[in-house]
Structure 1
């Protein structure tokens, strides 16, 4: 299963960014780069994206990469939702939000995030 993929959800094309259980390192950075490439290939303000961070770990390198990733994606993203955010990940999300000038809607489950996204 590809961690970065488009899926049809209730008739809408949604980008799934599955960062669940990822740990800092080259694989995490490669996944961020793959997501960036996929998003940048889409028309501006067209992407509905859900980022699943369930059980993921971040360090300063990953946090910096996520900030750059989020800022670069801003022209392409219509709406974004996040799931799996708790504890220190909430602090990281707040930092990314401030850096990128974007707000994120956090949800307790991927299904809740998807339901919200398709209403946008």
Structure 2
């Protein structure tokens, strides 16, 4: 399984893309989130990362929601600003659960490009 983390450049800014797209198997989703959490743990906890989480085409269950809540809370020291690509109302509910649990604010977008542009401008 390839890394769920990609470092991309947008308008001269580095953005961390957490790719959770097209997850249909809950165990795969939890594993992607676990691997992403390990990647974040190796970063400098200076609150400087711009992070885009894209969950387009994915399905959720209780285990994935728990993993999302966990990584959202875990990443507080690392992330300065976060955007989440949540194309459906189900995705928005999951984002809101993670936001409430972690006491973090996420800016929601329906597609990836506007999310990346917004992150680069922050």
After TM superposition, the score normalised by the length of structure 1 is 0.91
TM-fit CA distance, 1:71: 0.2
CA distance in 1, matches of 2:108, 2:42: 25
Three-state SS of the structure 2 residue aligned to 1:39 is helix
8 Å Cα contact 1:24-1:62 kept in structure 2: no
Match of 1:102 among 101, 104, 109: 104
3-state SS, counterpart of residue 118 of structure 1: helix
1:5 matched to 2:19? The reply is no
Once the 2 structures are TM-superposed, how far is the Cα of residue 2 of structure 1 from its aligned partner? Answer: 4.5
Report what 2:85 is aligned to.
Answer: 83
2:94 to 81, 92, 105: 92
Tell whether 2:30 aligns with 1:26. no
User: How many equivalent pairs are there?
Assistant: 120
1:40-51 superposed matches below 5 A: 40-43=41-44, 44-51=46-53
- Contact kept, 8 Å, 1:70 with 1:100, in 2: the verdict is yes
1:54 to 56, 63, 66: 56
1:5·1:17 contact (CA, 8 Å) conserved in 2? yes
How much is the aligned-residue C-alpha RMSD, in angstroms? 1.4
CA–CA separation in structure 2 for the residues paired with 1:37 and 1:69 = 10
Structure 1 residue matching 2:121: 3-state secondary structure: coil
What stretches of structure 1 move > 6 A for 4+ residues in a row? none
